Every structure is written in structure tokens, then in C-alpha cells.
Amino acid sequence: MSSTGSLLSALECRACCTQVEPNHLVGTCPTCGHALLAVYDLTRVDGPRWWSSLAGRPRTLWRYRELLPVQSSDAIVTLGEGCTPTLPLPEVPGAPGVRVQLKDDGVIPTGSFKARGMAVAVSRARELGAAALFAPSAGNAAIALSAYGARARVPVRVYLPDRNTAAVQEVCRRYGAEVVAVAGTIRDAGEAGRAAEKGRGSFEMSTLREPYRVEGKKTMGLEIAERASEEGLPDAILYPTGGGTGLVGMYKAFQELQTLGLCERIPRLYAIQPDGCSPVVRALRDGSARVTPWEAPHTLAPGLLVPAPFASERILEAVRGSHGGGTTVTDGELVEAMVELARRYGVSASPEAAAPYAALPHLVDQRAIRAGETVFLYNTGTGLGFSADELRTGLARTSPST
Ligand SMILES: Cc1ncc(COP(=O)(O)O)c(C=O)c1O
Ligand SMILES: [Zn+2]
């Protein structure tokens, strides 16, 4: 067995400070039920030397293996994920003088950034002996879990809100996963899944209810920072926010790099949400410590239909700790942004992934972002499989639902 050199030393609950030994399967904090986050012994590595050693490594997210939880190289389950391109977007309308870059996870295996979290979490779950895996999902996480489960040869069950398209269900089944359709939102799918899986010996892979998907998402921040060694860190990162793992992961990445002396500041992180479901933006505006569930949530972007994100304290900490913020966009703006990204820049983005592009002019109007700043828009997933015409038709008859 060859070691990855992982510096993982513990799992920690930031709510009650409980520390847990990391070498067995664990979900949430055994004391208070909040999210557990991985802790690394960063004193065991020379930051600058480690950073420069990355240059010779394979161009996947496993290049950061010391800051990832998997212990044995043999346990790594990979489809070649990570190291996605950064593309300049010149002259974005409504953002004069802003230097805009797009980090494109539309081209990652399985078509969305969910591959990052699932590659790491499935590898770690298999390493720790999980017999079967399950998760609720709006779609992309289910596809990624199904794909990595197939690659790892671990059985997978996914619980999908029944409004999800038949295509998502078919893709998951093609990977060999069992699909259960549940009426309602991802919140209902999560509750149904947990009830159904009780006593089955399966391990839950829901957002922030297990500690390692966020470690995979952390590599989004690590990649942005590694590229910044040549070109400088962005001033701000705009991120489409549903369950919020991406924000929590990127914030954790920059914090760890700061501890290692490898980044001087943390880019401002902005949560972008649809106006029909924006519990994080509301909590930021109200100065709340956690989100309150959004009533009658609705949006055509399934990945952003998360009325009550788990571990919202961590999401708010990431935004506030980075001196960022949040703003909302309409469903109509999402569809038009998706089309404009394709037409002007040749970029394929899903409705969720188009949210940062749609939000940029709003943040410029609000003077949150100014001319001369460098801004990264995170494209979290491909637009293949979405029809702008169908989305526009849906817009015309969108009505609130629960
Ligand atoms: C394409 C896409 N973008 C963004 C999100 C929201 O991600 P997060 O849970 O990290 O907030 C999702 C979640 O399903 C998604 O599928
Ligand atoms: Zn706790």
C-alpha cells in the first residue's frame, strides 16, 4: 500500500468543539449533530516547498493529496477530475472595467463540480469500508455519486425530487444506481432517504452530513490559488449557492493555505441565489447566525432549490469571514445568462451555473464590485441537456410550490 501522505489528523465540530478520530465512518457530530470538518496537521509540511512540488504532479485534484483525507493511493477512485480551465470573459455587459474570469467546471467528469466532492468522499468511504452509499440530490450530485459508485464498485441509491427530469434518473440508472423519486424538494428527498435507509447498513453522502465532500470541493479554492501564484488572487469569487458546500470548501482552502503561508488574503466570496429560494442571501441581509427555511421555494434551477441548507452557520461564516456578500437573480436572468454565456463566449453553463454571470451587473450596481477588480465566476456545471426554449416556456407558467 502506498501512502498519499495525507495530513488528516481529526474531524472537528465547529459548533461544540468536539473532536473525533477520523479513521472510521462517521457522519455528523456525535455530540450535537452539526457538520464535522476535517483537520490537517499543517505543521508537518513546509508550505512553500510543498507548493512548488505540485508543478510536477498529475493534473487532477489528487495533486493536493496531502490536504485531502484519503490515506492510501490504492483507495483513490478517479475519473480524472480537477484542474479545469480558467477562461477570460472580456467586456461583460454591465461590468465595465471589471476583469472577469470564468472557472469552468462544465468540462469536469459527470458534467458538474459535484464530481470533486464525490471523487473524494466515495474514495474515503470505500477506504473506511462503506458497504453501500445513498444521498438525496437535485440531480448533479446523484449523477456524480452514481458514476463514482460504479467506478468504486460500491452500490448506490439516490433519492431525487420527483420533478427531476427523467433524463437524470436514466443517467443514474445507467451507472447502476437505484433511483427513488420523492415528492417535494431535496429536503423531502433527504428525509425520505434517511427514513428508508435506517438499519440497511448504508452510509449517507448528503451535503455536509458527511465530512469529505467538502474536502473535494476545497480543491476549487486550491486550484484558483495555485493559478494565482502566477497571476495574483482574484478580489472576488461569485458562486451559485444551494447547499453551500462549495463556499465552505473554498473558504477552508484559503484558510489552510493562509496557515501554510501560501496566500496573503482570502478573496471575497459571494453567494448567488435565485429570488424564489434565497435563504442564505436573506440571512446575510438580516444579520442572522443561521438561515431560516425558505417558504414556498421555487426556481427553475434545481441545484439552487435548497430551502434550508444544512450547516448554514458554516456557509454564513465563509461569506462573512471573507468580507463577501450575496445577491439574488431572477429565473429569467438565469436563462438569459445561460444563453449569453454560450453566444458571447462559447461557454456551456447550466441555469445554476449561469447565476454568477447574471449576478455580476447587480453587484457592480450595488458597488460591491468595482472597476479594476478581478472577479472569478464559478461555472459549476455544463449546460448540455438543458433547453433554453423549454426553460423559457416553464418561466411563463412558473408558480410557487413546496
Ligand atoms: C450546477 C450546480 N451549481 C451549484 C449547485 C449548488 O451547490 P452547493 O451545494 O455547493 O451550494 C448545484 C447543486 O446541486 C449544482 O448542481
Ligand atoms: Zn458538535
Q: What is the mean pLDDT of the chain?
A: 95
C-alpha cell at 249: 470548501
The answer to whether residues 185 and 46 belong to one domain is no
299 lines ligand 1 (CB under 6 A): no
What pLDDT band is residue 395 in, cutting at 50, 70 and 90? confident
Q: Which residues pair with 38 in a beta bridge?
A: 11
Residue finishing a domain among 175, 204, 233 = 204
Residue 1 lies in a domain: no
Non-local CB neighbours of 55 within 8 Å, separated by 6+ positions: none
By three-state DSSP, how is residue 150 classified? Answer: helix
Give the model's pLDDT for residue 140. 95
Q: Which of 163, 185, 207, 304 to mutate to test the pocket of ligand 1 (most atoms within 8 A of CB)?
A: 304
pLDDT tens-digit series, residues 62-86? 999 999 999 999 999 999 999 999 9
Q: Which of 107, 112, 270 to mutate to test the pocket of ligand 1 (most atoms within 8 A of CB)?
A: 112
CATH number at 220 reads 3.40.50.1100
Q: Which of 310, 338, 377, 380 to mutate to test the pocket of ligand 1 (most atoms within 8 A of CB)?
A: 380
pLDDT tens-digit series, residues 250-307? 999 999 999 999 999 999 999 999 999 999 999 999 999 999 999 999 999 999 999 9
Residue 3 lies in a domain: no
Residue 402 lies in a domain: no
CA distance 141 to 156: 12
The answer to whether residues 223 and 274 belong to one domain is yes
The answer to whether residues 102 and 118 belong to one domain is no
Give the model's pLDDT for residue 164. 67
The ligand 1 atom nearest the CA atom of 242: 11
The answer to whether residues 41 and 70 belong to one domain is yes
Q: Which domain holds residue 25?
A: 8-75
How many other C-beta atoms lie within 10 A of the C-beta of residue 133? 27
Residue 353 lies in a domain: yes
140 lines ligand 1 (CB under 6 A): yes
What pTM does this model have? 0.96
Residue 2 lies in a domain: no
- Closest residue by Cα to atom 16, ligand 1, is 303
The answer to whether residues 188 and 58 belong to one domain is no
Non-local CB neighbours of 183 within 8 Å, separated by 6+ positions: 161, 162
Ligand lying closest to the C-alpha of residue 31: 2
